[in-house]
Amino acid sequence: MTLTKRRTPATFPVLWRRARRTLLAAGAVFALAVGVLTGTAASSQAAAQQPCDIYAAGGTPCVAAHSTVRALYASYSGNLYQVRRSSDSTTKDIGVLSAGGRANAAAQDSFCANTTCVITTVYDQSGHGNDMKYQGPGGIGGSDTAATATTESLMVGGSKAYSLYIKPGNSYWRDGHTTGVPTGSAPQGVYMVTSGTHVNSGCCFDYGNSETDRRADGAGAMDAIYFGTSCWFGGCSGSGPWVQADLEYGLYSGGSQSWNSNQRAFSNKYVTAMEKNNGTSRFALKGANAQSGSLTTLWDGSLPPGYSPMKKQGAIILGSGGDCCNGNTNLSQGTFYEGAIVAGYPSDATDNAVQANITAAGYGSSTSTGNTVTVTNPGAQSGTVGTAISGVQVQASDSAAGQTLTYTASGLPAGLSISSSGQITGTPTTAGTYAVTVTATDSTGASGTAAFTWTVTGGSSTGGTTTGGTTTGGTTTGGTTTGGTTTGGSTGGTGNGTCHVAYTKTSEWPGGFTADVTVSNTGTTTVNGWNVGFSFPGDQNVTNGWNATVTQSGKAVTAKNMDYNATIAPGASTSFGFQGTYTSSDASPTAFTLNGTTCG
């Protein structure tokens, strides 16, 4: 096994940061009492306190702090994570828009335009150098990969951000070369913000303390939060997902292998999960809706038999069990927005204050308490394959004077790009109808969007076949040819005047696979509630899905919207995905319907 060496920070800066937090602790406690605990924590771009400030004020400082969404210290102005694009394998660090603020999603959008990116590293904000990288080969076999960087975007307090959207085969790890992470029976707390809509029962979507050798080293070798629908010991109530503790050799809902009657499911879009363990006799589990409300205590009592004292090893895991991964590949899925490991056993008051900060952050909210950015919709656009466009300048305004706006775009026709000043130029290379979204972001992180369609016709299409005639609209599968003229859909899916569906296999292994499906509304009226239908040409079977309710009857598959993504505006799109198995054939479907209407 090849281990990645730790980047050791300079001794003086680390000691200074620790001393500074200690000196500020007394003043911070007062602010905690009169501010956060009463629900008046600032939700502005540069908050007065962030979660790790709150933990420090409570005497349990963060020793590892990770997020792709925001800074977890009010003073943090460094990098959150690193992306690598597939076109040239170069990497870019994605930071925050301002100290204590949100992620600079526009930097990722610009860097990853017209190619795919993966998240290779999630940086530690605590100053301990406990960065996490994607795992690669496991300790007892397997080879986990990096997660796609653009699978899920979200709004947090009016700013765009991206999650770490983990699918089977993705996971992240920090080996035993950590600094400050509790070991043995030392007390520890851990929290994360995750999602109740992208889960499964695969082992194991964990975040927290893990083995340094990635092997199952016995009871108490791990101390991590598990979130998912797995129920190891039976007797579970409902279908989950649940907040449990992965302590190695078991996922515990309480203090024994009997199901804890105080457990409850958290199916919210955004979920707060907490676990704390004093290392010798007591641990607690808590959960909450990360958008509103208070924490629910699921367990606060004795450790399971055989786990006193704990034997933590001090590595950090995200997205898989510590022994990664039973000889083959990790089968868990989940979403990670933010989280931290703290030294010590946090008080209930500290837990409550962190939850108040999380709800004030505005997960899922497109409303900013700061500036308002308005993008003027340029209207439907058109072009011809092989003919350069004259240039389209997107205009936007900001409610605050003196702001500089940075523009990004998604869904542009192949061959076109947008400059940071909003100028779209280039020469279209592939015919089709494209759902384009332009985003303008100011220096505070406030942003606005405009969505429109761009139709490209004529010319030759990549992968199209023409015999004695002209191909219009891209690649045609099973299309009809009349008089030498073929009219078809777009590469990677099917489309007509009202809808376009793209099906992509995102991973595949012997006997299993995952796939993403993107549904675009290319019509002129809003879709309110959707059902996407298709049939497998092979012997595939869907085992679970995310961002939709996916069911199967024979070869026929139906995907129904969730409450939060039921509406698709003209020119907009939404995506869902699923995991499946197969025996002999994993051929991709080629025909789709949207609410009974054929797409293509």
Catalytic positions are 248, 323
User: How many Cβ atoms sit within 10 Å of the Cβ of residue 290?
Assistant: 26
In angstroms, the CA 506 to CA 311 distance is 37
CA atoms within 13 A on the CB side of 555: 12
184: region left, alpha or beta (phi > 0 left; psi from -120 to 50 alpha): left
Exposure letters 333-349 (e unless 16+ CB within 10 A, then b)? bbbbbbbbbbbbbbeeb
Q: Is the peptide bond before 137 cis (omega within 30 degrees of 0)?
A: no
Let me know: does 228 contact 544? Beta carbons within 8 Å. Answer: no
29 three-class SS = helix
Question: With 0-12 CB in 10 A as exposed, 13-18 as middle and 19+ as buried, what is 481?
Answer: middle
Residue type, 298: L
Pairing of strands 531-535, 556-560: antiparallel
Question: With 0-12 CB in 10 A as exposed, 13-18 as middle and 19+ as buried, what is 86?
Answer: exposed
Q: Is the peptide bond before 309 cis (omega within 30 degrees of 0)?
A: yes
Smallest CA-to-CA distance from 172 within 232, 124, 238 is with 124
Q: Which residues contact 441 (CB under 8 A, 6 or more apart)?
A: 97, 105, 106, 159, 160, 373, 405, 406, 407, 408, 447
32 three-class SS = helix
DSSP structure class, residue 400: S
Residue type, 28: A
45: region left, alpha or beta (phi > 0 left; psi from -120 to 50 alpha): alpha
65 phi/psi in degrees, rounded to 5: -140, 120
DSSP structure class, residue 454: E
Q: In Å, what is the CA distance from 483 to each residue of 288, 467, 495?
A: 63, 10, 22
Smallest CA-to-CA distance from 211 within 290, 308, 324, 289 is with 324
In angstroms, the CA 572 to CA 348 distance is 43
Let me know: does 202 contact 222? Beta carbons within 8 Å. Answer: no
Ordered alpha helix ranges (H), 8-50: 11-34
Go through the chain and tell me how many residues it has: 600
Let me know: does 60 contact 348? Beta carbons within 8 Å. Answer: no
**Can you read off the two tokens belonging to residue 364?**
């899922």
Let me know: does 262 contact 242? Beta carbons within 8 Å. Answer: no
In angstroms, the CA 193 to CA 185 distance is 26
Give bridge partners of residue 379 from the DSSP assignment.
Answer: none
